Amino acid sequence: MSLVASFAIFLVSLLVGGFGIYVAASIVVDVKDYWEAVGTALLGAIAGGIAALLVGWIPLFGTFLTLLVWIGVINWRYPGGWIDALFIGFTAWIVTITVLIVLGALGLPIQDAVGVAGA
């Protein structure tokens, strides 16, 4: 796969992850800023990647800590506290998985979303 194709897939994956967070934040805390959501997805992916590198190898605890870091990024970027951040994360995951299923049915090669844990 070429560098351009890899970048295009990364960019679309980031936009899909941002869309999931955008929809979730719109529902949970009534914040409607798509680019804020894309930034949150990018920061969440970076922070989650670092956490996974450092502690992801620890069975169960590493996965939990990595997820907690991702929720922490959402908590930092959006109002409402940890419970709202948890609901944003869960809702973003559901929305993102749904979008990925639709994109897959359309034949697009997007298999995951950047910035949404587990998607």
**d(Cα 72, Cα 68) in Å, to the nearest integer?**
6
Residue 117: inside a domain: no
Residue 112: inside a domain: no
CA-CA distances (angstroms) from residue 9 to 18, 20, 113? 14, 17, 10
Q: Mean pLDDT for each 10-residue chunk of the chain (119 residues)?
A: 84 92 97 96 93 91 92 96 96 93 84 78
Residue 98: inside a domain: yes
For residue 46, give the 3-state DSSP assignment.
helix
> For the chain, how many structural domains are there in total?
1
Domain containing 34: what range? 3-105
